[in-house]
């Protein structure tokens, strides 16, 4: 072909390409508009920005916030600007709609009354000349609690200004050593926190998030193998014949802060039930209440929650009705359940029974297995599986006993020095031979002001196990939770000092099992006494929720970042198997192989009423290599019952990794 002819062909091709690039693509047709955030609640006279996202027929998406037409179905409740910002004018609900090319998307906006304005962090310490970001969070009135970030909408002030100043966005600056009150104000509402300014570098006390509205009271909580948290409370509304209906339940995602409603779809109240996580990752819930108005009456039901489908199911009835029972997984993957009030609410169950996940049925144990407590068994006993296969009942009764699943009999171990510890909290320490117990009241069903700051440890590896006092907590408390952290230390969260809810304790304490010393950490904002929960998350943070105290905090949660999250770069698990077996080796790849000092499995928490069922920290042995570790799994299911665990590596600075789940089979 001549040169001129080739040029002519090329020009024609380029012309077609250029023409095609200027023509609209017929496939890109707008098919849907989504409005976010979904179904928010705001305080009256505050604003909420919305975003609109368009989805096209080819699957692509585009931000349409500034090109849609915004409207409100009730402008007297909430009005809209052309930029998608809503302003609340009076209490009520308005549908907020975004329209483009005849396609509309909408969501409901609820305008609520502001109940409380919380300023967080609650009591931080900073070095003079440095800054601290404060946040203002509204807790809103409604059938379910909602929260709203008002940090950019409140008026900030600091007093005295000679100690600290604060910007219009809530950033405080330490000017001189001392204490200053940081205040946020909105109309007639205000909230404040104390900022402590130090002339020397302050200790690392960790940090709490702002409160977040869950829409339910986190009286029970379980960490799911998905990394999300199941939280549930009592049935609502009360009364359906002689049963209250359908416990309110939520699944909370601690990464996206999204909530899924998973309220029970059938008539059952699983309030004051026992719970633990089975080998297949499902949550098994034993008992509950026949009616919260018919106090102490237990039920026979067993309820299963599946984390993958987020659905509930029913399984075999227990042989004995139970309210306030305790669960513990045995080495064969079955669940041992004991204690709890009977169906009439006038007595406590002495009989034990075992649940088989394979058959969905219960087997009652012989009379030789009956609980021996006098005059009657305690409620929610603290149960721990030991490496020798026995189950120890470590409290709240003064007398400690051990149960043998093999012989179906009990033996007496010894007595606590303090005596009876009502609403104590206890934990099986790393090493799996020692139990730590702390706090509590000497009076059963305590409603007074007697509580203790003492703590004791018993070592079951000893030929003669005996309780020995360890360091005292700095603050006496009961109704608190003890949480095993990613580095093997223990965090005491919440509690009260006057009845179930009075004189709440806001300051958590960190216990070092090596030194026996408790150290006070950063204060949380919410009241977390009776009916509160706390558990470890896969990223090393701690979730704290619940306490039906009739305060604005009861339907909120907070998340604590321990000091180890502020001590430098975290070690990274690049890859690990999803499944492991007993007495075998597996390969864990990590760029930090040369700096790892600890490898462990951490069982996910299942908690309620100061009790964490099955919580355990299982140290593993390993050998280092170039960019990888060869890790040896537990030799026996006595050490780690089958199921899902979080895998953690800890570096020489005591910093744990993010913890992926794996299944031990």
Task: Report pLDDT digits (tens) over 253-297.
Answer: 999 999 999 999 998 999 999 999 999 999 999 999 986 556 689
Residue 207 forms beta bridges with which residues?
A: 561
**Domain, as residue range, for 197:** 114-202
Q: Is residue 136 part of a domain?
A: yes
Q: Which helix (H) or strand (E) holds 222?
A: strand 220-223
Confidence (pLDDT) at 449: 77
Longest dimension (CA), the chain: 110
Q: Is residue 15 part of a domain?
A: no
| Residue 375 pLDDT class (50, 70, 90 cuts) | confident
Residues 428 and 554 in one domain: yes
Task: Report pLDDT digits (tens) over 152-193.
Answer: 999 999 999 999 999 999 999 999 999 999 999 999 999 999
Q: Is residue 4 part of a domain?
A: no
Q: Is residue 8 part of a domain?
A: no
CATH code of the domain in which 320 resides: 2.130.10.80
Q: How much of the chain exceeds pLDDT 90, in percent?
A: 88
> How far apart are alpha carbons 506 and 130 in whole angstroms?
25
Q: Is residue 207 part of a domain?
A: no
Per DSSP, 377 falls in state P
Residues 493 and 400 in one domain: yes
Residues 320 and 465 in one domain: yes
DSSP string for residues in 608-638 = ETTEETT--EEEEEEEE-SSEEEEEPPS-TT
Confidence (pLDDT) at 305: 98
Q: Is residue 85 part of a domain?
A: yes
The answer to whether residues 249 and 265 touch, using CB atoms and an 8 Å cutoff, is: no
Residues 100 and 197 in one domain: no
pLDDT, mean of residues 519-537: 97
Confidence (pLDDT) at 1: 44
Q: Which residues contact 629 (CB under 8 A, 6 or more apart)?
A: 587, 588, 589, 590, 593, 596, 599, 622, 623, 649
Confidence (pLDDT) at 413: 96
> How far apart are alpha carbons 107 and 49 in whole angstroms?
13
Closest C-alpha to 563, from 543, 577, 542 = 542
Residues 103 and 143 in one domain: no
Confidence (pLDDT) at 141: 82
| Residue 309 pLDDT class (50, 70, 90 cuts) | very high
Confidence (pLDDT) at 90: 95
Confidence (pLDDT) at 444: 78
The answer to whether residues 111 and 90 touch, using CB atoms and an 8 Å cutoff, is: yes
Closest C-alpha to 333, from 3, 57, 606, 663 = 663
Residues 493 and 547 in one domain: yes
Q: Of the residues 84, 112, 140, which one is the last residue of a structural domain? A: 112
Give the tokens for residue 447.
């409603």
Residues 353 and 450 in one domain: yes
Task: Report pLDDT digits (tens) over 94-120.
Answer: 999 999 999 999 999 999 999 999 999
Question: Is 194 a residue whose pLDDT tops 90?
Answer: yes
CATH code of the domain in which 613 resides: 2.60.40.10
Alpha helices (runs of H) in 1-91, residue ranges in sequence order: 3-22
Give the tokens for residue 95.
């549908």
Task: Report pLDDT digits (tens) over 387-402.
Answer: 999 999 999 999 999 9
The answer to whether residues 106 and 86 touch, using CB atoms and an 8 Å cutoff, is: no
Residues 424 and 328 in one domain: yes
Asked whether the CA dihedral 90, 91, 95, 98 is positive or negative, the reply is positive
Residues 296 and 364 in one domain: yes
Q: Which helix (H) or strand (E) holds 387?
A: none
Closest C-alpha to 605, from 502, 524, 536, 504 = 536
Confidence (pLDDT) at 240: 45
Please tell me the total number of residues recorded for the chain in this structure: 665
Residues 354 and 467 in one domain: yes
pLDDT, mean of residues 330-338: 98
Closest C-alpha to 233, from 219, 253, 254 = 219
| Residue 36 pLDDT class (50, 70, 90 cuts) | very high
- Structural domains counted in the chain: 4
The answer to whether residues 665 and 581 touch, using CB atoms and an 8 Å cutoff, is: yes
Confidence (pLDDT) at 296: 82
pLDDT, mean of residues 206-221: 96
Closest C-alpha to 422, from 477, 371, 383, 459 = 477
Q: Which residues contact 188 (CB under 8 A, 6 or more apart)?
A: none
Residues 283 and 233 in one domain: yes
| Residue 218 pLDDT class (50, 70, 90 cuts) | very high
pLDDT, mean of residues 20-48: 80
Task: Report pLDDT digits (tens) over 414-469.
Answer: 999 999 999 999 999 999 999 999 999 998 776 777 899 999 999 999 999 999 99
Q: Is residue 267 part of a domain?
A: yes
Mean of all residue pLDDT scores within the chain: 93
| Residue 496 pLDDT class (50, 70, 90 cuts) | very high
Q: Is residue 19 part of a domain?
A: no
Closest C-alpha to 438, from 612, 233, 563 = 612
DSSP string for residues in 548-566 = --SSTTTTEEEEEE-GGGG
> How far apart are alpha carbons 493 and 187 in whole angstroms?
33
pLDDT, mean of residues 492-511: 95
Question: Is 411 a residue whose pLDDT tops 90?
Answer: yes
Q: Of the residues 183, 202, 221, which one is the last residue of a structural domain? A: 202
| Residue 575 pLDDT class (50, 70, 90 cuts) | very high
Q: Of the residues 202, 226, 241, which one is the last residue of a structural domain? A: 202
The answer to whether residues 387 and 639 touch, using CB atoms and an 8 Å cutoff, is: yes
pLDDT, mean of residues 516-526: 97
pLDDT, mean of residues 75-88: 97
Residues 267 and 123 in one domain: no
CATH code of the domain in which 152 resides: 2.60.40.1080
């Amino acid at each position: 072909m001549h040169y001129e002819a080739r040029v002519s062909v090329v020009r024609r091709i380029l012309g077609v390409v250029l023409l095609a690039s200027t023509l609209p693509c017929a496939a890109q047709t707008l098919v849907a508009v989504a409005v976010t955030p979904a179904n928010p609640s705001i305080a009256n006279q505050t604003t909420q920005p919305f975003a609109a996202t368009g989805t096209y027929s080819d699957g692509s998406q585009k931000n349409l916030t500034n090109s849609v037409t915004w409207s409100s179905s009730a402008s007297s409740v909430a009005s809209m600007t052309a930029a998608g910002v809503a302003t609340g004018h009076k209490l009520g609900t308005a549908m907020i709609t975004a329209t483009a090319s005849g396609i509309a998307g909408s969501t409901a906006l609820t305008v609520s009354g502001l109940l409380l304005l919380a300023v967080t962090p609650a009591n931080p310490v900073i070095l003079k000349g440095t800054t601290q970001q404060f946040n203002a969070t509204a807790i809103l009135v409604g059938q379910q609690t909602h929260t709203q970030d008002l940090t950019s909408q409140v008026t900030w002030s600091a007093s005295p200004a000679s100690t600290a100043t604060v910007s219009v966005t809530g950033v405080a600056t330490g000017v001189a050593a001392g204490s200053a009150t940081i205040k946020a104000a909105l109309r007639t509402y205000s909230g404040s926190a104390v900022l402590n300014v130090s002339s020397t570098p302050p200790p690392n006390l960790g940090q709490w998030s702002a409160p977040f509205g869950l829409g339910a009271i986190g009286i029970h909580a379980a960490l799911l193998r998905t990394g999300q948290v199941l939280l549930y409370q009592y049935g609502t509304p009360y009364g359906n014949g002689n049963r209250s209906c359908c416990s309110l339940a939520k699944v909370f995602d601690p990464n996206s802060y999204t909530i899924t409603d998973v309220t029970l779809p059938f008539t059952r109240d699983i309030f004051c039930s026992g719970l633990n996580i089975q080998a297949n990752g499902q949550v098994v819930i034993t008992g509950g209440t026949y009616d919260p108005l018919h106090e102490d009456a237990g039920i026979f039901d067993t309820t299963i929650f599946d984390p993958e489908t987020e659905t509930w199911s029913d399984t075999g009835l227990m042989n004995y009705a139970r309210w306030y029972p305790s669960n513990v997984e045995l080495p064969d993957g079955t669940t041992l359940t004991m204690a709890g009030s009977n169906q009439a609410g006038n007595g406590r169950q002495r009989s034990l029974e075992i649940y088989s996940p394979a058959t969905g049925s219960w087997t009652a144990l012989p009379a030789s297995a009956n609980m021996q407590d006098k005059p009657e068994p305690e409620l929610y006993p603290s149960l721990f599986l030991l490496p020798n296969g026995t189950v120890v009942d470590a409290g709240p009764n003064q007398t400690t006993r051990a149960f043998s699943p093999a012989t179906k009999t009990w033996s007496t171990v010894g007595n606590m020095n303090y005596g009876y510890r009502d609403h104590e909290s206890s934990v099986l320490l790393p090493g799996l031979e020692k139990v730590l117990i702390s706090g509590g009241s000497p009076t059963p069903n305590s409603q007074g002001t007697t509580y203790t700051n003492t703590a004791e440890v018993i070592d079951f590896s000893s030929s003669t196990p005996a309780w020995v006092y360890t360091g005292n907590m700095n603050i006496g408390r009961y109704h608190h939770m003890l949480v095993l952290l990613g580095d093997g230390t223990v965090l005491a969260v919440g509690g009260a000092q006057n009845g179930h809810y009075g004189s709440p304790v806001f300051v958590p304490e960190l216990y070092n099992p090596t030194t026996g010393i408790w150290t006070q950490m950063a204060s949380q904002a919410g009241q977390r006494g009776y009916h509160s929960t706390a558990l470890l998350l896969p990223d090393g943070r701690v979730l704290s929720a619940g306490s039906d105290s009739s305060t604005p905090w009861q339907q909120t949660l907070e998340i604590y970042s321990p000091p180890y999250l502020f001590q430098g770069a975290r070690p990274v698990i690049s890859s690990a198997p999803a499944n492991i077996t007993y007495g075998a080796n597996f390969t864990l790849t990590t760029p930090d192989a040369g700096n790892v000092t600890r490898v462990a499995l951490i069982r996910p928490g299942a908690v309620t009423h100061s009790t964490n069922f099955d919580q355990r920290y299982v140290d593993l042995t390993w050998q280092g290599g170039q960019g990888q570790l060869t890790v040896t799994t537990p030799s026996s299911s006595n050490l780690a019952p089958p199921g899902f665990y979080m895998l953690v590596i800890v570096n020489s600075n005591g910093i744990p990794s993010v913890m992926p789940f794996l299944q031990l089979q």
